[in-house]
Structure 1
Protein backbone atom coordinates (compact mmCIF):
# COMPACT_ATOMS: atom_id res chain seq x y z
CA UNK A 1 0.00 0.00 0.00
CA UNK A 2 2.73 2.52 0.86
CA UNK A 3 4.29 1.97 -2.55
CA UNK A 4 0.95 2.95 -4.10
CA UNK A 5 0.86 6.06 -1.87
CA UNK A 6 4.37 6.95 -3.05
CA UNK A 7 3.19 6.94 -6.66
CA UNK A 8 -0.20 8.52 -5.98
CA UNK A 9 0.86 11.30 -3.59
CA UNK A 10 4.66 11.39 -3.41
CA UNK A 11 7.21 9.95 -1.05
CA UNK A 12 7.15 11.13 2.57
CA UNK A 13 9.58 13.94 3.28
CA UNK A 14 10.53 15.84 6.40
CA UNK A 15 9.85 19.57 6.57
CA UNK A 16 12.65 21.78 5.32
CA UNK A 17 12.51 23.68 8.59
CA UNK A 18 10.53 23.94 11.80
CA UNK A 19 10.59 27.32 13.48
CA UNK A 20 11.31 27.59 17.20
CA UNK A 21 7.80 28.85 17.97
CA UNK A 22 6.31 25.78 16.23
CA UNK A 23 8.24 23.10 18.10
CA UNK A 24 5.95 20.84 20.07
CA UNK A 25 2.85 22.83 19.08
CA UNK A 26 -0.36 21.58 17.50
CA UNK A 27 -3.06 23.87 16.08
CA UNK A 28 -6.15 23.99 18.27
CA UNK A 29 -8.32 23.58 15.17
CA UNK A 30 -6.54 20.42 13.92
CA UNK A 31 -9.07 18.09 12.25
CA UNK A 32 -8.99 14.94 10.16
CA UNK A 33 -10.59 15.03 6.70
CA UNK A 34 -13.52 12.65 7.09
CA UNK A 35 -17.26 12.63 6.35
CA UNK A 36 -18.07 14.90 9.30
CA UNK A 37 -15.50 17.53 8.42
CA UNK A 38 -16.48 17.33 4.74
CA UNK A 39 -20.09 18.07 5.70
CA UNK A 40 -18.92 21.14 7.62
CA UNK A 41 -16.80 22.33 4.67
CA UNK A 42 -19.82 21.95 2.37
CA UNK A 43 -21.99 23.94 4.79
CA UNK A 44 -19.35 26.67 4.89
CA UNK A 45 -19.42 26.69 1.09
CA UNK A 46 -23.14 27.44 1.18
CA UNK A 47 -22.70 30.12 3.85
CA UNK A 48 -19.94 31.70 1.77
CA UNK A 49 -22.52 32.64 -0.86
CA UNK A 50 -24.38 34.91 1.56
CA UNK A 51 -23.57 38.60 1.68
CA UNK A 52 -22.65 38.62 5.37
CA UNK A 53 -20.49 35.51 5.48
CA UNK A 54 -18.63 35.91 2.18
CA UNK A 55 -16.23 38.43 3.74
CA UNK A 56 -15.75 36.57 6.99
CA UNK A 57 -15.02 33.27 5.29
CA UNK A 58 -12.59 34.79 2.75
CA UNK A 59 -10.59 36.15 5.68
CA UNK A 60 -9.37 32.69 6.72
CA UNK A 61 -6.77 30.36 5.33
CA UNK A 62 -6.69 26.69 6.11
CA UNK A 63 -3.64 24.48 5.81
CA UNK A 64 -3.65 20.77 5.09
CA UNK A 65 -1.16 17.93 4.90
CA UNK A 66 -1.17 14.24 4.07
CA UNK A 67 0.87 12.16 6.48
CA UNK A 68 2.92 9.14 5.45
CA UNK A 69 -0.08 6.82 6.03
CA UNK A 70 -2.35 8.77 3.68
CA UNK A 71 -4.40 10.60 6.33
CA UNK A 72 -5.25 14.20 5.43
CA UNK A 73 -5.45 16.70 8.28
CA UNK A 74 -6.52 20.35 8.18
CA UNK A 75 -6.42 23.34 10.50
CA UNK A 76 -7.04 27.03 10.47
CA UNK A 77 -3.72 28.76 9.85
CA UNK A 78 -3.24 29.87 13.45
CA UNK A 79 -1.09 32.54 15.05
CA UNK A 80 1.79 31.23 17.12
CA UNK A 81 0.82 33.46 20.02
CA UNK A 82 0.40 31.62 23.29
CA UNK A 83 -2.68 32.01 25.46
CA UNK A 84 -3.60 34.00 27.51
CA UNK A 85 -2.01 36.71 25.38
CA UNK A 86 -4.81 36.18 22.90
CA UNK A 87 -8.04 34.26 22.90
CA UNK A 88 -8.19 34.33 19.10
CA UNK A 89 -5.66 31.90 17.60
CA UNK A 90 -6.73 32.11 13.93
CA UNK A 91 -4.41 33.82 11.51
CA UNK A 92 -6.32 36.32 9.33
CA UNK A 93 -5.84 35.74 5.62
CA UNK A 94 -4.02 38.69 4.06
CA UNK A 95 -3.85 38.53 0.31
CA UNK A 96 -0.87 40.72 -0.53
CA UNK A 97 -0.83 42.56 2.79
CA UNK A 98 1.58 41.96 5.63
CA UNK A 99 0.46 41.42 9.18
CA UNK A 100 2.78 42.14 12.12
CA UNK A 101 2.63 38.50 13.17
CA UNK A 102 3.05 37.12 9.64
CA UNK A 103 6.29 35.36 10.46
CA UNK A 104 4.86 33.77 13.59
CA UNK A 105 2.18 31.35 12.59
CA UNK A 106 1.80 27.62 13.03
CA UNK A 107 2.72 26.09 9.69
CA UNK A 108 2.40 22.72 8.01
CA UNK A 109 4.87 20.86 10.27
CA UNK A 110 2.56 21.45 13.25
CA UNK A 111 -0.19 19.48 11.53
CA UNK A 112 1.70 16.21 11.74
CA UNK A 113 3.98 16.54 14.72
CA UNK A 114 6.90 17.87 12.68
CA UNK A 115 7.04 14.51 10.92
CA UNK A 116 7.07 13.53 7.26
CA UNK A 117 4.32 14.52 4.84
CA UNK A 118 3.68 13.30 1.32
CA UNK A 119 2.09 16.54 0.15
CA UNK A 120 0.74 19.68 1.82
CA UNK A 121 -0.91 22.94 0.90
CA UNK A 122 -3.64 25.47 1.53
CA UNK A 123 -7.41 25.59 1.25
CA UNK A 124 -9.29 28.88 1.01
CA UNK A 125 -12.31 30.54 -0.54
CA UNK A 126 -11.77 32.50 -3.76
CA UNK A 127 -14.13 33.91 -6.39
CA UNK A 128 -14.94 31.99 -9.51
CA UNK A 129 -15.94 33.51 -12.86
CA UNK A 130 -19.54 33.95 -11.58
CA UNK A 131 -18.30 35.92 -8.54
CA UNK A 132 -19.28 33.06 -6.23
CA UNK A 133 -16.89 31.79 -3.60
CA UNK A 134 -15.45 28.32 -4.13
CA UNK A 135 -13.03 26.21 -2.18
CA UNK A 136 -9.62 26.47 -3.85
CA UNK A 137 -6.93 23.94 -3.00
CA UNK A 138 -3.21 24.20 -3.71
CA UNK A 139 -0.02 22.38 -2.80
CA UNK A 140 1.91 25.50 -1.82
CA UNK A 141 3.65 24.34 1.31
CA UNK A 142 7.02 26.02 1.57
CA UNK A 143 8.09 23.39 4.08
CA UNK A 144 7.12 20.21 2.22
CA UNK A 145 6.61 21.08 -1.45
CA UNK A 146 8.96 23.92 -2.33
CA UNK A 147 12.15 21.99 -3.13
CA UNK A 148 10.33 19.05 -4.72
CA UNK A 149 6.94 20.25 -5.98
CA UNK A 150 4.30 17.56 -6.39
CA UNK A 151 3.14 16.57 -9.84
CA UNK A 152 -0.18 17.97 -11.06
CA UNK A 153 -1.63 14.46 -11.00
CA UNK A 154 -0.73 14.13 -7.31
CA UNK A 155 -2.46 17.44 -6.50
CA UNK A 156 -5.47 16.31 -8.54
CA UNK A 157 -5.66 13.13 -6.47
CA UNK A 158 -5.81 15.17 -3.27
CA UNK A 159 -8.64 17.23 -4.79
CA UNK A 160 -10.37 13.97 -5.72
CA UNK A 161 -10.22 12.87 -2.07
CA UNK A 162 -12.07 16.06 -1.09
CA UNK A 163 -14.59 15.66 -3.93
CA UNK A 164 -15.27 12.00 -3.01
CA UNK A 165 -16.42 13.31 0.37
CA UNK A 166 -18.65 15.88 -1.33
CA UNK A 167 -16.43 18.96 -1.01
CA UNK A 168 -16.40 20.87 -4.30
CA UNK A 169 -12.84 22.12 -4.73
CA UNK A 170 -10.97 23.62 -7.65
CA UNK A 171 -7.21 23.32 -7.92
CA UNK A 172 -4.79 26.21 -8.12
CA UNK A 173 -1.52 24.87 -9.54
CA UNK A 174 0.42 28.13 -9.04
Structure 2
Protein backbone atom coordinates (compact mmCIF):
# COMPACT_ATOMS: atom_id res chain seq x y z
CA UNK A 1 0.00 0.00 0.00
CA UNK A 2 1.10 3.55 -0.60
CA UNK A 3 3.45 4.95 1.97
CA UNK A 4 2.69 2.44 4.72
CA UNK A 5 5.28 1.20 7.19
CA UNK A 6 6.24 -2.41 6.42
CA UNK A 7 5.02 -4.80 9.10
CA UNK A 8 2.35 -2.40 10.32
CA UNK A 9 -1.41 -2.88 10.21
CA UNK A 10 -4.50 -1.03 9.03
CA UNK A 11 -7.48 -0.51 11.34
CA UNK A 12 -10.98 0.84 10.72
CA UNK A 13 -13.04 2.20 13.62
CA UNK A 14 -16.82 2.36 13.13
CA UNK A 15 -19.50 4.26 15.03
CA UNK A 16 -23.02 5.48 14.35
CA UNK A 17 -24.84 8.63 15.45
CA UNK A 18 -27.70 6.49 16.82
CA UNK A 19 -26.20 3.19 18.05
CA UNK A 20 -29.64 1.86 18.98
CA UNK A 21 -30.59 2.00 15.26
CA UNK A 22 -27.44 0.13 14.19
CA UNK A 23 -28.72 -3.39 14.86
CA UNK A 24 -28.10 -5.29 12.69
CA UNK A 25 -25.03 -3.30 11.61
CA UNK A 26 -25.94 -1.29 8.50
CA UNK A 27 -22.35 -1.21 7.18
CA UNK A 28 -20.08 -4.07 6.25
CA UNK A 29 -16.54 -4.55 5.01
CA UNK A 30 -16.64 -6.49 1.73
CA UNK A 31 -13.41 -8.36 0.97
CA UNK A 32 -12.48 -9.96 -2.36
CA UNK A 33 -9.22 -11.71 -3.29
CA UNK A 34 -7.17 -10.03 -6.02
CA UNK A 35 -6.11 -13.39 -7.46
CA UNK A 36 -8.94 -15.11 -9.34
CA UNK A 37 -8.08 -18.59 -8.04
CA UNK A 38 -7.85 -17.55 -4.38
CA UNK A 39 -11.34 -18.56 -3.33
CA UNK A 40 -14.45 -16.61 -2.51
CA UNK A 41 -14.66 -13.26 -0.84
CA UNK A 42 -16.34 -12.60 2.47
CA UNK A 43 -18.00 -9.86 4.50
CA UNK A 44 -17.41 -8.50 8.00
CA UNK A 45 -20.29 -6.63 9.71
CA UNK A 46 -19.30 -3.27 11.23
CA UNK A 47 -21.21 -2.83 14.52
CA UNK A 48 -21.12 0.37 16.60
CA UNK A 49 -17.82 1.13 18.41
CA UNK A 50 -15.84 -1.66 16.77
CA UNK A 51 -12.40 -1.86 15.18
CA UNK A 52 -11.41 -4.21 12.36
CA UNK A 53 -7.65 -4.67 11.90
CA UNK A 54 -5.66 -6.39 9.16
CA UNK A 55 -2.01 -6.70 8.18
CA UNK A 56 -0.35 -5.09 5.18
CA UNK A 57 0.18 -8.60 3.79
CA UNK A 58 -3.58 -9.16 3.88
CA UNK A 59 -4.13 -5.72 2.38
CA UNK A 60 -1.83 -6.66 -0.50
CA UNK A 61 -3.72 -9.89 -1.28
CA UNK A 62 -7.29 -8.57 -1.04
CA UNK A 63 -9.45 -5.69 -2.26
CA UNK A 64 -11.81 -4.25 0.30
CA UNK A 65 -14.55 -1.66 0.51
CA UNK A 66 -17.09 -0.55 3.07
CA UNK A 67 -20.68 -0.63 1.87
CA UNK A 68 -24.14 0.12 3.21
CA UNK A 69 -26.11 -3.13 3.50
CA UNK A 70 -29.29 -2.00 1.75
CA UNK A 71 -30.81 -5.51 1.88
CA UNK A 72 -31.58 -4.96 5.57
CA UNK A 73 -33.35 -1.62 4.80
CA UNK A 74 -31.40 0.22 7.50
CA UNK A 75 -32.90 3.36 9.03
CA UNK A 76 -31.24 6.71 8.33
CA UNK A 77 -28.23 6.78 10.65
CA UNK A 78 -25.04 8.77 10.13
CA UNK A 79 -21.92 6.62 10.10
CA UNK A 80 -18.35 7.56 10.91
CA UNK A 81 -15.53 5.29 9.79
CA UNK A 82 -11.97 6.27 10.65
CA UNK A 83 -9.02 4.47 9.07
CA UNK A 84 -5.74 4.27 10.98
CA UNK A 85 -2.51 3.52 9.16
CA UNK A 86 1.18 4.02 9.96
CA UNK A 87 2.97 6.05 7.31
CA UNK A 88 6.56 5.27 6.44
CA UNK A 89 7.16 8.84 5.29
CA UNK A 90 7.93 11.63 7.70
CA UNK A 91 6.80 15.10 6.62
CA UNK A 92 8.25 18.17 8.30
CA UNK A 93 7.10 21.76 8.39
CA UNK A 94 9.91 24.19 7.61
CA UNK A 95 10.12 27.93 7.10
CA UNK A 96 10.57 28.69 3.41
CA UNK A 97 11.48 31.82 1.53
CA UNK A 98 11.97 35.38 2.65
CA UNK A 99 8.77 35.60 4.67
CA UNK A 100 9.52 32.37 6.51
CA UNK A 101 6.15 30.84 5.59
CA UNK A 102 5.82 27.25 6.84
CA UNK A 103 5.87 24.59 4.13
CA UNK A 104 5.49 20.80 4.20
CA UNK A 105 8.69 19.04 3.11
CA UNK A 106 10.04 15.51 3.15
CA UNK A 107 13.09 14.68 5.28
CA UNK A 108 15.38 15.26 2.27
CA UNK A 109 13.96 18.78 1.81
CA UNK A 110 11.77 17.99 -1.22
CA UNK A 111 8.54 20.02 -0.96
CA UNK A 112 5.25 18.15 -0.63
CA UNK A 113 2.95 19.81 -3.15
CA UNK A 114 -0.71 19.65 -4.04
CA UNK A 115 -1.19 17.44 -7.09
CA UNK A 116 -1.95 18.97 -10.45
CA UNK A 117 -4.85 17.46 -12.39
CA UNK A 118 -2.39 15.25 -14.31
CA UNK A 119 -0.68 14.10 -11.10
CA UNK A 120 -4.04 13.33 -9.45
CA UNK A 121 -4.99 11.25 -12.49
CA UNK A 122 -1.64 9.44 -12.21
CA UNK A 123 -2.27 8.68 -8.52
CA UNK A 124 -5.74 7.27 -9.20
CA UNK A 125 -4.28 5.08 -11.96
CA UNK A 126 -1.67 3.82 -9.49
CA UNK A 127 -4.42 3.08 -6.94
CA UNK A 128 -6.20 1.05 -9.61
CA UNK A 129 -3.02 -0.96 -10.18
CA UNK A 130 -2.64 -1.48 -6.42
CA UNK A 131 -6.16 -2.94 -6.33
CA UNK A 132 -5.42 -5.30 -9.24
CA UNK A 133 -1.79 -6.40 -8.73
CA UNK A 134 -0.51 -8.58 -5.91
CA UNK A 135 3.07 -7.27 -5.98
CA UNK A 136 2.44 -3.61 -6.80
CA UNK A 137 4.75 -1.04 -5.20
CA UNK A 138 4.14 2.69 -5.40
CA UNK A 139 6.92 4.88 -6.78
CA UNK A 140 7.96 7.90 -4.67
CA UNK A 141 5.32 10.62 -5.12
CA UNK A 142 6.16 14.19 -4.02
CA UNK A 143 2.52 15.30 -4.19
CA UNK A 144 -0.80 14.76 -2.45
CA UNK A 145 -4.45 15.04 -3.46
CA UNK A 146 -5.41 16.18 0.06
CA UNK A 147 -5.03 19.94 0.61
CA UNK A 148 -4.91 19.36 4.38
CA UNK A 149 -1.64 17.43 3.96
CA UNK A 150 0.22 20.63 3.08
CA UNK A 151 -1.26 22.92 5.72
CA UNK A 152 1.30 24.19 8.23
CA UNK A 153 0.73 23.02 11.80
CA UNK A 154 -1.04 25.42 14.13
CA UNK A 155 -0.01 25.78 17.74
CA UNK A 156 -2.54 24.32 20.13
CA UNK A 157 -4.91 26.71 21.82
CA UNK A 158 -7.10 26.16 24.81
CA UNK A 159 -10.57 27.66 24.95
CA UNK A 160 -11.71 28.69 28.43
CA UNK A 161 -14.92 27.31 29.89
CA UNK A 162 -16.78 30.48 28.88
CA UNK A 163 -16.23 29.63 25.19
CA UNK A 164 -14.25 32.76 24.36
CA UNK A 165 -11.48 32.11 21.84
CA UNK A 166 -7.85 32.25 22.85
CA UNK A 167 -4.92 33.21 20.69
CA UNK A 168 -2.84 30.47 19.07
CA UNK A 169 0.00 30.93 21.55
CA UNK A 170 -1.90 31.37 24.80
CA UNK A 171 -2.83 28.85 27.42
CA UNK A 172 -5.09 29.61 30.31
CA UNK A 173 -6.46 32.97 31.42
CA UNK A 174 -4.95 35.74 29.32
CA UNK A 175 -2.28 36.78 26.89
CA UNK A 176 0.27 37.67 29.57
CA UNK A 177 0.24 34.51 31.66
CA UNK A 178 2.31 32.17 29.52
TM-score, normalisation: structure 1? 0.26
Q: Taking CA–CA contacts closer than 8 Å with sequence separation of 6 or more, which of the two structures ends up with the larger relative contact order?
A: 1
Larger Rg: 2
Q: Which structure shows the bigger proportion of residues in strand conformation?
A: 2
TM-score, normalisation: structure 2? 0.26
